[in-house]
A = this chain, B = another copy of it.
Amino acid sequence: MRKISLRAIGRVHNSIRKIKREGWDSVVSEVILDKTFAEALEGVEEYSHLLVLFWLSRVRKAERKMKKIHPKSRQDLPLVGIFATRTQYRPNPIGLTLVKLLERKKNILKVRGLDALNGTPVIDIKPISPHQEFPKKKRVPKWYDELWRKLRK
């Protein structure tokens, strides 16, 4: 299939240098876009939350070929297809995270909850769209709820 070319529009700045699985909720990051994008951010401050799309630049080529995993590498959870999880091991390692927007200053967004290491390339910022994206009735696998019960203990 045809190749698609993206360009980073900015980078994540925070204190996180090492990959970690948990404890991202409270992390405050700055998303520093290229200065030319300051104008393109006008109005984002009216949203409480944004979706940040970023490029998981540390994922290696071999890891992009994985087909199935245990969610969060937990052997107590079933082996499922990578598209049934949010693992970074995917053919196109794009991260997608909902963050709380704390502040915007020109080309810089201060956000909470972004699970990206310092220096991570950012590829898009999208506002939430509650009318389209928050379904009232939803269904998830058993393991998903089990995982979150365990994470919260």
Contact = CB atoms under 8 A, between A and B. Distances in A.
A124 interface: yes
Contacts of A96: 51, 53, 96, 126
Contact of A121 (B2, B41, B68): B2
Nearest to A142: B46
A65 to B, nearest CB: 9
Of all A-B residue pairs in the complex, the 9 with the closest CB atoms, nearest first, are A43-B84, A43-B80, A42-B81, A46-B141, A48-B139, A1-B8, A4-B6, A83-B125, A40-B81
Interface string A1-36: 111111111000000000000000000000000100
Nearest to A87: B126
